Structure 1
Amino acid sequence: MERSNYKSEIPIFEFPGGIHPKEHKVESNQTPIRDIPLPKQLVINLKGQAGNRSLPVVNVGDVVLKGQVIAESDGVFSSFQHAPSSGTVIAIEKRPIAHPSGLDDVCVVIETDGKDQWCDLNPKSNVEDLERAEILAHICESGIVGLGGASFPTHIKLKRESGIHTLIINAAECEPYITCDDRLLQEHAQSVFKGAQIISQLYQDLKIIIGIEDNKPDAIDALVSARKELAMDDVKIAVIPTKYPSGGEKQLIQLITGKEVPHGGLPADLGLVMHNVATCFAIFQAFEYGKPLVSRVVTLTGEACQKAGNYQVPFGTPVEHLMKISEATNPGVLVMGGPMMGFELPNSKVGIVKSTNCIIMAAPKELKHDHLALPCIRCGACMDVCPASLLPQQLYWHAKSDEFEKAEEYDLFDCIECGACAYVCPSDIPLVQYYRYAKSTIRNQKVEKTKADKARLRHEARQERLERVKREKAEKHRKAAEARRKAAEAAGDDDTKKSAVAAALARVKAKKAEQDEDSATGSSNETENQETDNKGNDA
């Protein structure tokens, strides 16, 4: 493929490993971006971005307009979803989705009316007058996510402000077959620049660098012309050698800055923020015209695709509709994404999502999807090409044996799943599938552990509460018994005192009675003696 002679405007460094697969780009980048006829139905997956499922705000039977909100962000980690065209909501149910698991998930199904009528839009072209929170809120409410493949909600990625000094626009598009960013730059480079300007309003003195591979000469020329027309001479164009996976976030940062994102860290830790060219374009559309993210440019290619090219595709468009308009003939496999990091679709009825940058309609023997895996021969080729300097064979053995703790010790989560190791494996071992399995299992285990820890804490709190109530009741009963005892003792003391007083009174009465009796006896004796004396005198 033709290489650009344009020299990079900043020094370019290197990253370890990497490969040079056949590019297969000329098949789709030779024609302008085309619109597609509207499909009869749009199947919008509410989990069609990184993070949590969006929350539906429409009901079956509702008539919706293009751009109308059909699902809101959960307020934590998800994005808004908008109607890609006007029509009627005919179902909110589980359908097969575009995901490596092949599982079903909740989808909003819209039957299009053919009018493609927009709702009232809310442009905000006066970005310089907006507060930071207002800019982020508009990006969020426009449903914009990273369109390079990760589909991470953009407003979350832009939330951190302190320490950010450089914006890197990722235009590398290193994976074979995919050319949607290439064509977008050729036709809308100015809009991409303006989107980057809007992002720059969120930071102080932000430097902007565009990283692009040298196999996109027309896109590079478009960038140079757009920069001149917009008088944005401070934006630097970094032309990097074509090598996969130079478009990986960490690899492109290493190429442009010479710095490595720390283990377990983020580009923001180096003062960097990175966005894809399509994301910048979507931000410009949202502010200049008020258009939420309802469609994207998708590369349709592969040997079974008769009309390969790049198409503006509404989200939720079934892949079978794309096969029809591109005149695909008996594809052996359907791959969403590129041949390295993409995945095979469960069927052709799934709708495209925000992260869909390419659909490969491969001929039966075009890709290595059906090769029989042989035992590992320990050649070490996978280690040589790993761009993250990992030990893929060790990760494979531990993942295969469900030794997940050991896999984590070998930095499993630093793997970017680029597929370079599987590409060079002479045994055709699907290494990335093992890594994905191990990662998902570990994540699920951590989720279950978190749930178990919360349940344990709730149980312990309940037990403590019951014990506390029990202790409080026992203490209450003890105090009541003590009060009764004291009352009884007090009552007993009163009875004793009364008895003593009564006894004393009885003794007093008895003594007095005795004294009265003695007095009475004495008086009688005296009378008798007197009478005797009187009788004696008479004698």
Structure 2
Amino acid sequence: MERSSYPSEIPIFEFPGGIHPQENKQLSNRSPIAKLPLAKELVINLKGQAGNRSIPCVAVGEQVLKGQLIAKSDGIFSSYQHAPTSGKIIAIEKRPIAHTSGLEDLCIVLSADGDERWVELSPAEDFTALCRKQILARIFESGIVGLGGASFPSHIKLQREDGIDTLIINAAECEPYISCDDRLLQDNTDEVLKGAQIISHLYKDLNIIVGIEDNKPSAIEALKAARTKLRMTFDIAVVPTKYPSGGEKQLIQLIAGKEVTHGKLPADLGLVMHNVATCFAIYEAIIQDKPITDRVVTLTGKACGKPGNYRIPIGTPIKHLLESTQTLKSQKLIMGGPMMGFEIQSINAGIVKATNCIIMADSNELKPEQTSLPCIRCGECMNACPASLLPQQLYWHAKADEFDKTEEYNLFDCIECGACAYVCPSDIPLVQFYRYAKSNIRNNRVEKIKADNARERHEARLDRIERVKLEKAEKHRKAAEARRKAAEASGQADAKKAAVAAALARVQAKKEANHEASNSHQADKTKEPKA
């Protein structure tokens, strides 16, 4: 493939490992971004991003406009979902989803009316008039996630403000076949760079670096022209084409010469990184007030009738894409690239925000699945690992369900790039074992949290029972004490009353005695003889 002769404007470093798979980007990157006919039904997966599932806020039978909110985020680690077109909500139910498991999940099914009527928008051409809080709120409410494949909510990545000095725009796009970011840079260069300006504005003007592989000469020239036109200041870091140079940690090593060590984030090094498509989405959200309703997707592969890059509404069924590109004989469908993507189990599933590519392969195009052989301990996987891990040790421990050992070998530093499996002479699906171990560790953590919560609730219940018991005993003691005091007080009152009564009786008796004595004296006087 053609390489750029344009030199990097800043020094380029190296990262360990890496491989050079056949690129095959020329199948799709030679024509401008186009559109396909609108599908009659769109299936919007509510778990179509990293984090929690979105919560529907529309009802079956409701008419919606393009860009209208149809599902709210479930907490900060989630994403809003918007209607990809105008039409009617005909179902909210479980449907097949674009996932390696082939399982069903909750989806909103929208019947398109073909009118493409937008909800009322409030553009903000001067983004500098918006404060940081307003910009982050718009990014969040527009449902923007990382569109390079991870689909991590973008507003979370932008929360940290202190200590950030550099913005890296990830235009490496190292996966074979995928060319959507390449075409987006060629066709919408100004919008991508204006999105970068908005991000820079959040941090009071950052140093901007565009990291791009040397197999994208047209995009590099478009960046140079736009820099002059927009009078922007940024560096273009042209890195050698090597997979996975587009990985976040790997591109940082190439451009900044810094390593994001275990347990650290790019922000700890003063860096923030965003994908080309994410910058474009931020531009649309802030300047045009448009949420994510579609994205550019590479449709490619030797079986694809019309390979190219297309702007496709979120939720468009893969079956519709096959029909629209006149692809009838594909032997295998891969969502994503051949290295990190997965085989599509149902063509009725709709695309999600993370869908950057669909490979429609013929029977001889991709490496067929092989029966894995025993590990020969050749060490090729270790040499290819860009994260400097020990894939062989991780494989043995994952296979033996020794998950604590895999964590000791930094399993979660694995970016699942597939380089180790690519070079494995025994055709061992190494990444599958790593994903299996990660899934079990996450599940065990969830179960531990549940068990800890249950234990805490049980202990709290026992404490509450004991507390109530003690409170009742204290209440009874106080009641008995009150009765005793009342009784004593009553006895003292009765004794006092008796003493008063006795005193009154004595006085009365004395009075009566005196009265009788007086009467007796008078009687005696009456009986005395007269002189």
Same fold per TM (> 0.5)? yes
Matched, 1:114 2:104: no
- Indicate how the Cα distance of structure 1 residues 369 and 399 shifts in structure 2: closer, same or farther if over 3 A, else same: farther
Distance 1:34 1:483, change over 3 A: same
Aligned-pair CA distance for 1:412? 0.4
Deviations 1:243-277, CA, capped at 9 Å, x for gaps: 00000000000100000112111111111100001
Partner of 1:50: 50
Aligned position for 2:39? 39
What residue in structure 2 maps to residue 318 of structure 1? 317
- Deviation, 1:366, is 2.4
Partner Cα separation in structure 2 for residue 400 and residue 383 of structure 1: 17
- Give SS of 2:174's match: coil
- TM superposition shift of 1:479: 2.7
- CA distance in 2: counterparts of 1:471 and 1:75, whole angstroms: 40
Is 2:159 the counterpart of 1:132? no
Secondary structure (helix, strand or coil) at the match of 1:201 reads helix
1:485 deviation in Å? Answer: 4.5
Measured in 1, the distance between the counterparts of 2:260 and 2:368 equals 32
Distance 1:149 1:118 in 2: 27
Q: Which amino acid aligns with 1:212?
A: I
* Cα distance in 2, alignment partners of residues 217 and 277 from structure 1: 16
Q: Distance in 2 between matches of 1:58 and 1:98?
A: 23
For residues 158 and 292 of structure 2, the distance between their equivalents in structure 1, rounded to whole angstroms, comes to 17
* Equivalent position SS for 2:253: helix
Pick closer, same or farther for the CA change 1:56–1:502 going to 2, 3 Å: closer
Q: What's the secondary structure of 2:25's corresponding residue?
A: coil
Query: Does residue 62 in structure 1 map to residue 78 in structure 2?
Result: no
Conserved in 1, the CA contact under 8 Å of 2:335 and 2:341?
yes
Q: Distance in 2 between matches of 1:439 and 1:192?
A: 35
Structure 2: how far apart are the matches of 1:169 and 1:436? 28
Q: Provide the rounded CA distance (Å) in 1 between the counterparts of 2:477 and 2:368.
A: 76
Contact conserved, 2:52 with 2:75, CA < 8 A, in 1? no
Cα deviation, residue 483, structure 1 = 3.9
1:61-460 mapped onto 2 (5 Å cutoff): 61-232=61-232, 234-460=233-459
Alpha-carbon distance, 1:200 to partner:
1.1
* Contact 1:49–1:145, Cα closer than 8 Å, also in 2: yes
User: How far apart, CA to CA, are the structure 2 residues paired with 1:395 and 1:199?
Assistant: 38
Task: Decide whether aligned partners of structure 1 residues 489 and 227 sit closer, same or farther in structure 2, where only a CA change above 3 A counts.
Answer: same
Q: Aligned to 1:368, what secondary structure does the other structure show?
A: coil
Report deviation, 1:367: 2.2
TM-score by length of 2: 0.91
What is the number of equivalent residue pairs in this alignment? 509
For residue 297 of structure 2, give the secondary structure of its aligned residue in structure 1.
strand
Amino acid at match of 1:27: L
- Deviation track 1:205-240 (CA, whole Å, cap 9, x = no partner) reads 3100000000111111111111111111x2000000
Is the Cα–Cα contact under 8 Å of residues 97 and 346 in structure 2 kept in the other structure? no
- Please give the alpha-carbon distance, in whole angstroms, between the structure 1 residues aligned to 2:260 and 2:208: 18
Q: TM-score, normalising length from structure 1?
A: 0.90
**How far 1:46 sits from its partner (Å)?**
0.9
Change beyond 3 A, Cα 1:46–1:369: farther
Query: Which residue of 2 is the match for residue 17 of structure 1?
Result: 17
Q: 1:355-388 CA deviation, whole Å, 9 max, x = no partner?
A: 0000011123422352211221111111110000
Structure 1 96/488 Cα, relative in aligned 2: closer, same or farther at 3 Å? same
In structure 2, the residue matched to 1:513 is none
Q: CA separation in 2, counterparts of 1:49 and 1:502?
A: 93
User: 1:445-478: per-residue Cα shift (whole Å, max 9, x none)?
Assistant: 1112112212221221121111101001112222
Structure 2: tracts of 5 or more residues without a match? 503-531
Is the CA contact 2:211–2:236 (under 8 Å) kept in the aligned structure 1? yes
User: 2:211 is matched by which residue type in structure 1?
Assistant: G
Deviations 1:146-180 (A, max 9, x none): 11011111111111111110000000000001000
What secondary structure sits across from 1:245 in the alignment? coil
Whether contact under 8 Å (2:91, 2:109) holds in the other structure is yes
Q: In the aligned structure 1, how far is the partner of 2:297 from the partner of 2:322?
A: 13
Contact 1:171 1:276 in 2 (8 A): yes
Give distance in 2, aligned partners of 1:59 and 1:364: 43
- Partner of residue 507, structure 2: none
Counterpart of 1:393 in structure 2: which amino acid?
Answer: Q
Judged with a 3 Å threshold, the aligned counterparts in structure 2 of structure 1 residues 56 and 488 are, in CA distance, closer, same or farther, namely same
Residue matched to 2:519: none
Letter aligned with residue 385 of structure 2: C
Aligned residue identity for 1:475? E
More moved, 487-496 vs 290-299: 487-496
> Aligned partners of 2:209 and 2:234: how far apart in 1?
6
Aligned partners of 1:400, 1:364: CA distance in 2, in Å? Answer: 31
Whole-Å separation in 2 of the counterparts to 1:456 and 1:369 = 49
Contact 1:165/1:204, CA 8 A, preserved across alignment = no
Distance 2:276 2:301 in 1: 24
* Residue of structure 2 equivalent to 1:507: none
- 1:211/1:252 contact within 8 Å kept: yes
- Residues 45 and 106 of structure 1 are in contact (CA less than 8 Å); yes or no, is this contact kept in structure 2? yes
- Aligned to 2:146, what secondary structure does the other structure show? coil
Over the matched positions of the two proteins, sequence identity in percent amounts to: 71
Structure 1 residue 400 displacement after superposition: 1.3
Shift of residue 497, structure 1, vs aligned partner: 9.9
